[in-house]
Amino acid sequence: MLATRAPAKINLTLHILGRRDDGYHELESLVAFSGGGDALRLAPGPELTLIVDGPTAAAAGDGSDNLVLRAARRLAERVPGLTLGAFRLTKYLPVAAGVGGGSSDAAAALRLIAAANGLADDDPRLMEAARATGSDVPVCLDPRARFMRGAGEAVGETLRLPPLPAVLLNPGAPVATASVFQRLGLAPGERTSAGAHPAIASGLDAEALLAALRRGRNDMEDAACLEAPVIVHALAVLSAARGCRLARMSGSGATCFALFSTRHAAAAAAAAIARQNPAWWVKTAALR
């Protein structure tokens, strides 16, 4: 039995540069990952199967189109004689939440199949299968901080970031990414006029990184707030938390995050928010 984590993907920034002629939106995003997330196990064998359980399993579904199975099939198309097997996915992350849960699950499946078959981590067929599975899967294949660009297919080098104690919050409103993009209203070939992404290099200290992040933005935030107005309240709650340095939405929502200077401050804020909002999904995280 092989096992791995599928951590939450957090978009610290998300700049929409325009919409390509092929209909896909072009973006530039600095991505970091939590320590915890979903859990995926694989018993290698001749049949490809999937069982889904866990606190958020009901929303994830266990159908044949699950991204874990889709990723496995895309890799099998590229590697003759590939050993697959029985997957068991335990869902802890919220679904349709802007944290790339399904994409991270798919990337975790590719890592486990690679391990079961002796494929190198840098085997180009892994990235090919990731790109064929979904736009967020490539950046999740090696879940460490980096930029993603294009429609998600272009993945930058790993960035060394300072510790980022954070609170992750989802107010329980699923948000469809396609609906948020539709609200942006960009026509194929249209470019945006928003400012360029701030330069962020590996090795910045915490204050320099926070200053750069404040010059960034999430261009999907306003549209997502129209789609799910509770996001406005979630951001206000995080911004008002003692010690919050930056609050922003991740991805297309509805999950939001707040960055803090210390883990203690993040833990205290998370406990206070959870007490006042017991129906919300609230977690602390050390983003990397």
User: How far apart are alpha carbons 170 and 99 in whole angstroms?
Assistant: 10
Cα–Cα distances (Å) from 85 to 44, 81, 111, 124, 141, in that order, read 4, 13, 13, 22, 19
CB atoms within 10 A of CB 158: 12
Which of these is catalytic: 9, 105, 219, 283?
A: 9
User: How far apart are alpha carbons 38 and 28 in whole angstroms?
Assistant: 26
| Residues 69 and 106: beta-carbon distance below 8 Å | no
Tokens of 245: 């340095």
- Choose among 274, 35, 41: nearest CA to 165: 35
122 is catalytic: no
136 is catalytic: yes
Which of these is catalytic: 105, 136, 219, 283?
A: 136
Alpha helices in the chain (DSSP H): 57-60, 67-78, 101-117, 124-133, 137-140, 177-184, 206-215, 221-227, 230-240, 263-276
Helix H or strand E encompassing 93: none
What is the DSSP-derived secondary structure letter of residue 191?
Answer: B
Burial of 157 (0-12, 13-18, 19+ CB in 10 A): exposed
* Catalytic center residues: 9, 136
